[in-house]
Structure 1
Amino acid sequence: MHALHSIFAANKAGSQQGIYSVCSAHPLVLKAALLQAKQDQSRLLIEATANQVNQFGGYTGMMPADFIAFVKQLATEVGFTPEQLVFGGDHLGPVCWQDLPAAEAMLQAEALIAAFVAAGFSKIHLDTSMRCADDPAVLSDQLIASRAARLCQVAEESAARAGLTGTLSYVIGTEVPPPGGVSEMEQGIVPTSVDSVQATLAAHRQAFINQGLTAEVWSRVIAVVVQPGVEFDNTRVHAFDAEKTKALTAFIAAEPGLVFEAHSTDYQTEATYHALVRGHFAILKVGPQLTFALREALFALAQLEQQLLPASDCSQLQEKCLELMQAKPGYWHKFYQAEGAKLLELQFYSYSDRIRYYWPEPVLQQAQSRLFDNIRQLAVSQPVLHQFLPQHALPESTGDLVADPEQLVIRHIQLVLARYAGACGMRGKQEQSS
């Protein structure tokens, strides 16, 4: 974790340095991230949430060790050095077991933490901010902190058993956005107050002491999750305003060893990402925007295919997506309160991108493979590509054939990643060394 500490120390010293966190398990998103980091000669932070990956498989079907092996295999395929990878566990706590009484949910969370640490995850987000079945309506900072300290102790014990004592870093916080995004964004999102951050830190420091955790363990708490005033829902994005976080920036600047971690930074502008990093929001998490870009490119290729082939030969990717989402509404029905054309718009195009949960389904994997095969056989020219994916066409060489469809999708995802890399000072390093 020395590399992360160096990045954060430089950030606190006034350098435009940070790190973005890729929160996705989709292989094309991960390949895009690996290729972007390879191009930038930078570290790559990849995180798995408790919903995606856990001791029961999560919605990806992968346990923590499976996920790390999966990413490392992709890294080998694209020629990215695995030693440059940092793995983080996101929202590690009772989130998947909130319908259980707290005692039972916390036992599951302990097993979750132990599995993540044993697998090799070294950045651990201790997230106990959610209510369990028998909890009060509002959890106090003290209760959240005591549960986080309990999970931290489990992590330390798991690291010791694996011969990894002293290697873990922790992220804490009580004002944590829900994993997966919100269905309806509040009006006028207010950044976390300095008083709230102070209370959070004080509660966690005391809870760590009460749990018997040492000062050395506390020194490896690297970041606090706060609300910087960024969020998105199905159709709107709440933009970051650096003026409203001046007090937060000044406060964290004086806290040795600590930076802020910003969740839900998807869909902000390039200037906003730079401003966040300058304000010591040195960890920028992105997830839905990456699969949004994935879907955007896949649907563009599907529309291109429909223009050039008879319907019977097409992959019917979009139609099969809709059929699957209607047959299995569990991932979206609580988030999309609409009917008719508006519901279809949200199912396909929402910023929350609930369609991301369906891509691993065999029927969509088969449709994607057929789509890619069709595009390769069509040998699409640059002028045709320009109609559907103009960002990736080369008008000055319109006679050339387009790139492989998988590479087009990856390049489209990289358009998002490149903005994050630039804001975190990664692209500049690559340019200076080339």
Structure 2
Amino acid sequence: MTAALGYLAAARRSGQPEGIASVCSAHPLVLRAALRHGREHDSKVLIEATCNQVNHLGGYTGMQPADFAALVAKIAGEEGFPADRIILGGDHLGPNPWRHRPAEDAMKEAERMVAAFIKAGFRKIHLDASMGCKGEPAGLDDQTTAERALRLATVAEDIAKTIGAEMPFYIIGTEVPPPGGADHILTTLEPTSRAAARQTINVHRDLFKKAARDDAFSRVIGLVVQPGVEFGNHNVIQYDRDKAKDLVGLLDDEPQFVFEAHSTDYQGRRPLRELVDDGCGILKVGPELTFVLRETLYALDLIASDLLPDYGERPLYAAMEGLMSAQPNYWKGHYGGDEPERRLLRHYSFSDRIRYYWVAPQASAAVERLLGTLAGARVPIPLLRQHLPAGEQFASAPLDPQEVLMWRVMRSLDDYHAACRGSAAG
């Protein structure tokens, strides 16, 4: 499986850089869209679960790694997508979910989590122990971070050997701001400095060597950096390749690596292509995919309200507002301002924290009612132009609402596929 992404650094060295989108979502419709898109384009599909979404204790999705892998396999089977073209990754695997506890306790949980990911067939492992635990600074120094990353890699290596599985490959480093987007309006963003990126690589390399884990380090294929892309609740900082030139030059000295760029959501095709050309071989996307899914669900909610009087006035929107107001834990620390602003952000923020709520029974029931209500309905072109202007091809014929949702997510994935030059077909 290492060869599955090993081509990225080789392609850059050859002067023909390629990339792959990393789909970071646990939403079944997003997973289905990614796998269907991969089937239609004959490409590999890289799907990642974060330590907060999925872990050995269930995460916020309630899924352990084996559950997530089984869900992906089930959908792949239904979509006719070959299992050997799926790459499963674990993102930010480290003590983050337990950082409120003492470091040793948090690291023991992180070790159990990594073991569960390896046993479940995940082979792309992002070692991220950069966050401080109870009584520690919020961000740790390179030495401590690397020592903890080595500890987690040792677990991964030993488990893989014990069960006779293919050896994992690794990503090191982290990015600032944290994953999921910033909480404030962004005006500018500085890329990771070349010196800082070099230091991260050197400290990890030296520690792995001293621990006689050279073989594991040879499978470190990527370094997470901040190339200068991010999104907040209100806006997006697009890639400025001139500002990243010095950082990009590091890859000429470190041919083993490509960069992994997080928070590439909402960039659009041209900036994504520039990121790939500049060595960001792995492009993380997640909130954009659930954002456009929500966008389309709300469009269908409006269409149903206008088309079918018995449906009511935007019941899906009302259900989600009631749910998020009653259970604010996933958004209250991220959305500020007065109540009207918070209400707008609950539904329309680029950070898309509404994605945490779709698994709730109230949300599932409202979505099922919407899809069932519109199934087979004939929507006239003027109404589609009003609420879903790019979806005129769905007019007049009996509607399959799930296909509309899939189409919209796949449109975003088209930008990533084009930016990567379809290179993930491998």
TM-score, structure 2 normalization: 0.96
Q: Is 2:44–2:424's contact at 8 Å kept on the other side of the alignment? A: no
CA distance in 1, matches of 2:155, 2:368: 43
Could you report, residue by residue, the CA deviation over 1:175-200 in whole angstroms, capped at 9, with x for unpaired residues?
45423322125542110111101111
Q: Look up the match of 1:180.
A: 180
Matches of residues 215-364 of structure 1 in structure 2 within 5 Å?
215-310=214-309, 316-364=315-363
Bigger drift between 361-370 and 279-288 goes to 361-370
Could you report, residue by residue, the CA deviation over 1:54-87 in whole angstroms, capped at 9, with x for unpaired residues?
0111111100001000001001111111110000
CA distance in 1, matches of 2:17, 2:174: 27
Q: Is 2:17–2:279's contact at 8 Å kept on the other side of the alignment? A: no
Residues 1:338 and 1:402: Cα distance change in structure 2 (over 3 Å): farther
Could you report, residue by residue, the CA deviation over 1:282-326 in whole angstroms, capped at 9, with x for unpaired residues?
000000000000000000000001112225556711000000000
Could you report, residue by residue, the CA deviation over 1:80-129 in whole angstroms, capped at 9, with x for unpaired residues?
11110000000000010010011111111110111101110000000011
TM-score, structure 1 normalization: 0.94
- The SS at the match of 1:378 is coil
CA distance in 2, matches of 1:333, 1:116: 30
Bigger drift between 312-321 and 31-40 goes to 312-321
Q: Look up the match of 1:121.
A: 122
- The SS at the match of 1:265 is coil
- 1:213 to partner: Cα distance: 3.6
Which of residues 413, 416, 421 is equivalent to 1:417? Answer: 413
CA distance in 2, matches of 1:213, 1:402: 63
Q: Look up the match of 1:41.
A: 42
Could you report, residue by residue, the CA deviation over 1:180-235 in whole angstroms, capped at 9, with x for unpaired residues?
3221255421101111011111111122134x243221110000001101111100
- 1:138 to partner: Cα distance: 4.3
Task: Name segments (4+ residues, structure 1) moved above 6 Å.
Answer: 427-430
2:173 is aligned with what amino acid?
G
Q: Is 1:113–1:154's contact at 8 Å kept on the other side of the alignment? A: yes
CA distance in 2, matches of 1:353, 1:215: 40
CA distance in 2, matches of 1:73, 1:180: 27
Q: Is 2:55–2:65's contact at 8 Å kept on the other side of the alignment? A: yes
Gaps of 5+ in 2: none
- 1:254 to partner: Cα distance: 2.9
CA distance in 1, matches of 2:174, 2:370: 44
1:129 is aligned with what amino acid?
S
Q: Look up the match of 2:79.
A: 78
CA distance in 1, matches of 2:181, 2:9: 26
1:327 is aligned with what amino acid?
A
CA distance in 2, matches of 1:137, 1:289: 27
- 1:362 to partner: Cα distance: 1.0
CA distance in 2, matches of 1:171, 1:88: 10
CA distance in 2, matches of 1:185, 1:310: 39
Q: Look up the match of 1:154.
A: 155
1:375 is aligned with what amino acid?
L
Q: Is 1:177–1:263's contact at 8 Å kept on the other side of the alignment? A: no
Could you report, residue by residue, the CA deviation over 1:34-60 in whole angstroms, capped at 9, with x for unpaired residues?
111111100000000000000111111
Q: Look up the match of 1:30.
A: 31
Q: Is 2:23–2:48's contact at 8 Å kept on the other side of the alignment? A: yes
- 1:243 to partner: Cα distance: 0.7
CA distance in 1, matches of 2:326, 2:362: 12
Could you report, residue by residue, the CA deviation over 1:250-292 in whole angstroms, capped at 9, with x for unpaired residues?
2113312210000000011210000000000000000000000
Q: Is 2:44–2:425's contact at 8 Å kept on the other side of the alignment? A: no
Q: How many residues align?
A: 425
Gaps of 5+ in 1: none
- 1:338 to partner: Cα distance: 1.9
Residues 1:220 and 1:344: Cα distance change in structure 2 (over 3 Å): same
1:95 is aligned with what amino acid?
N
- The SS at the match of 1:20 is strand
Could you report, residue by residue, the CA deviation over 1:377-427 in whole angstroms, capped at 9, with x for unpaired residues?
432233422322111213xx96x4154100001100111100001101118
Residues 1:38 and 1:328: Cα distance change in structure 2 (over 3 Å): same
Q: Look up the match of 2:202.
A: 202
Q: Look up the match of 1:140.
A: 141
Bigger drift between 332-341 and 314-323 goes to 314-323
- The SS at the match of 1:66 is helix
1:208 is aligned with what amino acid?
F
- 1:342 to partner: Cα distance: 1.3
- 1:169 to partner: Cα distance: 0.5
